[in-house]
């Protein structure tokens, strides 16, 4: 069975079994190509039955050997997955009891909090373990309604932020057990992309992180900081929509626990079909972390600027065209035409979202006098939603933490191992959301039929080494400060530190603010 695994198919080598004794019992994984792999280790009890819609419960110990040679279930989502999904995967260098423990990186996947999985092709941590002497851990957490529905406070209500609690439970498991796999629980870096980055920002700014010492460093990749977390009242409004569809009252958790999973997933996606106000499009994540006033007390962007966060070294960053995929998807949804988005439609768009600063925005992002306005729309969305608030968060954090680093990924890949880009992202020079992931994980190694140029291999190696250096306590590149505005430009022919990237537009948004 082991040799049928993807990596086994690629490398065609023989796996040897590896057994580890943890605090909960024996775990058997395997070593393949010099990497110890332990897949599908449960870190919590299955969240089913009366544990559905409840905070995670720590995994009970086991008597027999736990076989960890296959990925666990993806969490329930549209078209696939299962509720019994709270597991993690460990990719580690061979255990050497005579050597020191090695740093640990814990990756939280993205997927707008409704999709994604730790076993996704390309997210394997083998290359880190093999080339940087670092352990990579990837985790699953509950998604959508099952992970982020909030109906109110009290025993009969669903309390929200359950998916974040899953992530915390995984971090707790790692802190308690990773030393048995050769990892140092005092040198843990959490990293995430997109919704995973929002999760990382939530953990760094959560008071729970102050108390538990689950991690000592963080990497935030492509966080849409202006897509703000809901307040309780806003979360309840979405819960009412879902509750009306399934026929449960807000204060009857038992009703939700009794629903077939197919009913829950179908109703979850039906809520996306409810007509939204156009101005709500920037906040169209019905199921996401919320300000519950306990785990999350305010918007992460606010907390980074006020100093109310766990003061650990942080990397923040973006890709060049974060919003292209989303803007073109909206413009091609039937209401507009992305190939002929007129100046009038563009100015209407600006008026809907930025009525209070309409003239200032048009001065900064004028519509072309003729031709398509889709490109300027994408640039505006990228700057406002991703790039400029990310720089703002990083500059805010740098007032309180010496080690803050900023990057931009600006290379258009010749091929995408994740193979999921829309046509707009295939245009030369466009660097879409998630483009950096395959370079961070060196995913080309796990994607038969895809190839990179030699320069791209070097770019990926540079990114991986920078991430690993950071996890090992070394400076990945020059630190950010308000004077130099240094950031790393990951691009070809080679990465280089630049100063004041995109400063004119980001200075504009810093002066206008990020709450429209």
- Positions annotated as catalytic residues are 194
According to DSSP, the β-strands at 217-221 and 183-193 are parallel
* Region for 79 from its dihedrals, namely left if φ exceeds 0, alpha if ψ lies in -120 to 50, beta otherwise: left
Give the Cβ contact number of residue 305 at 10 Å: 17
From residue 387, alpha-carbon distances to 249, 371, 384, 394, 403 in Å are 40, 26, 7, 11, 20
Whole-angstrom distance, CA of residue 242 vs CA of residue 232: 15
DSSP class of 80: B
Whole-angstrom distance, CA of residue 27 vs CA of residue 21: 6
DSSP class of 278: G
**Which neighbouring-strand residues pair with 315?**
219, 405
**Which neighbouring-strand residues pair with 138?**
89, 107
Q: How many residues does the chain have?
A: 516
By C-alpha distance, which of 431, 495, 429 is closest to 461? Answer: 495
The half-sphere exposure of 395 on its side-chain side, counting CA atoms within 13 A, is 16
Whole-angstrom distance, CA of residue 268 vs CA of residue 490: 38
Judged by DSSP in three states, 224 sits in: coil
Question: Token pair for residue 24?
Answer: 């909960």
Judged by DSSP in three states, 400 sits in: coil
Give the Cβ contact number of residue 8 at 10 Å: 17
Query: DSSP alpha helices (H): ranges in 292-404?
Result: 300-306, 324-331, 343-353, 358-364, 374-381, 388-398
Whole-angstrom distance, CA of residue 417 vs CA of residue 118: 16
Judged by DSSP in three states, 221 sits in: strand
């Amino acid at each position: 069975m082991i040799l049928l695994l993807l990596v086994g198919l690629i490398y065609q080598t023989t796996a040897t079994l590896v057994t580890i004794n943890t605090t909960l019992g024996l775990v058997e994984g395997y070593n393949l190509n010099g990497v110890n792999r332990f897949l599908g280790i449960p870190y919590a009890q299955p969240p089913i039955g009366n544990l559905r819609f409840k905070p995670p419960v720590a995994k009970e110990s086991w008597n027999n050997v736990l076989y960890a040679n296959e990925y666990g279930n993806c969490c329930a989502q549209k078209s696939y997955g299962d509720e019994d999904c709270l597991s993690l995967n460990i990719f580690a260098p061979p255990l050497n009891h005579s050597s020191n423990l090695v740093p640990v990186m814990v990756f939280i996947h993205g997927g707008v909090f409704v999709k994604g999985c730790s076993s996704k092709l390309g997210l394997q941590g083998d290359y880190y373990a093999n080339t940087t002497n670092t352990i990579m851990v990837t985790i699953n957490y509950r998604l959508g309604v099952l992970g982020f529905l909030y109906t109110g406070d009290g025993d009969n209500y669903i309390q929200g932020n359950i998916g974040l609690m899953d992530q915390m439970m995984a971090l707790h498991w790692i802190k308690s057990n990773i030393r048995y796999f050769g990892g140092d629980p005092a040198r843990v870096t959490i990293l995430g992309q997109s919704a995973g980055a929002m999760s990382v920002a939530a953990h760094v700014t959560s008071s729970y992180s102050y108390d538990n010492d689950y991690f000592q460093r963080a990497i935030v990749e492509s966080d849409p900081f202006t897509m703000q977390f809901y307040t309780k009242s806003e979360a309840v409004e979405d819960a009412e929509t879902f509750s009306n569809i399934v026929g449960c009252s807000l204060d009857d958790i038992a009703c939700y626990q009794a629903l077939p999973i197919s009913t829950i997933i179908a109703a979850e996606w039906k809520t996306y079909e409810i007509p939204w106000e156009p101005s709500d499009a920037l906040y169209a994540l019905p199921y996401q972390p919320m300000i519950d006033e306990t785990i999350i007390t305010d918007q992460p962007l606010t907390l980074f600027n006020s100093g109310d966060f766990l003061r650990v070294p942080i990397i923040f960053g973006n890709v060049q065209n974060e919003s292209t995929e989303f803007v073109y998807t909206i413009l091609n949804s039937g209401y507009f035409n992305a190939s002929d988005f007129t100046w009038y439609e563009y100015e209407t768009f600006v008026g809907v979202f930025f009525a209070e600063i309409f003239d200032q925005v048009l001065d900064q992002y004028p519509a072309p006098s003729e031709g398509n306005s889709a490109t300027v729309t994408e640039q505006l969305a990228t700057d406002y939603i991703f790039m400029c608030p990310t720089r703002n968060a990083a500059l805010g954090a740098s007032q309180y933490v010496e080690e803050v680093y900023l990057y931009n990924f600006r290379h258009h890949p010749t091929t995408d191992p994740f193979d999921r880009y829309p046509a707009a992202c295939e245009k030369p020079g466009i660097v879409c959301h998630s483009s950096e992931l395959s370079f961070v994980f060196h995913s080309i190694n796990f994607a038969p039929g895809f190839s990179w140029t030699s320069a791209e291999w070097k770019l990926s190696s540079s990114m991986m080494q920078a991430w690993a250096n950071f996890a090992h306590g070394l400076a990945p590149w020059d630190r950010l400060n308000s004077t130099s505005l240094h950031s790393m430009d990951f691009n070809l022919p080679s990465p280089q530190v630049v100063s004041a990237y995109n400063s004119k537009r980001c200075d504009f948004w810093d002066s206008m603010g990020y709450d429209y």
